[in-house]
Amino acid sequence: SFRSMMAVAPPNTKRWIILYPVYMNSKKTLAEGRRICTSKACENPTCAEIVDCCAHLKVPCVFE
């Protein structure tokens, strides 16, 4: 769950890819920081939603 993912920081996190909600926010322009096409983006994603998606996909993550 979201809370359990926050409790333990896996080793070697300095080399991980950082995902900010703005990268996938369909309401933002490329100039404002969106990094994916609007058809694959969602409206106003939250950090908690990103962590939940990572957990569902079994992708190690840390919420900071």
- The CATH-assigned architecture of domain 2-9+16-56 is 2-Layer Sandwich (3.30)
The Cα 27–Cα 42 span in angstroms is 8
At position 20, the amino acid (one-letter code) is: Y
Sketch the domain layout of the chain as residue ranges. 2-9+16-56
pLDDT for 7-51, tens place per residue? 565 667 778 889 999 999 999 999 999 999 999 999 999 999 999
pLDDT of residue 63: 86
pLDDT interval class at 61 (50, 70, 90): confident
The two tokens of residue 7 are 């409790």
- Sign of the torsion formed by the C-alpha atoms of 10, 11, 17 and 23: positive
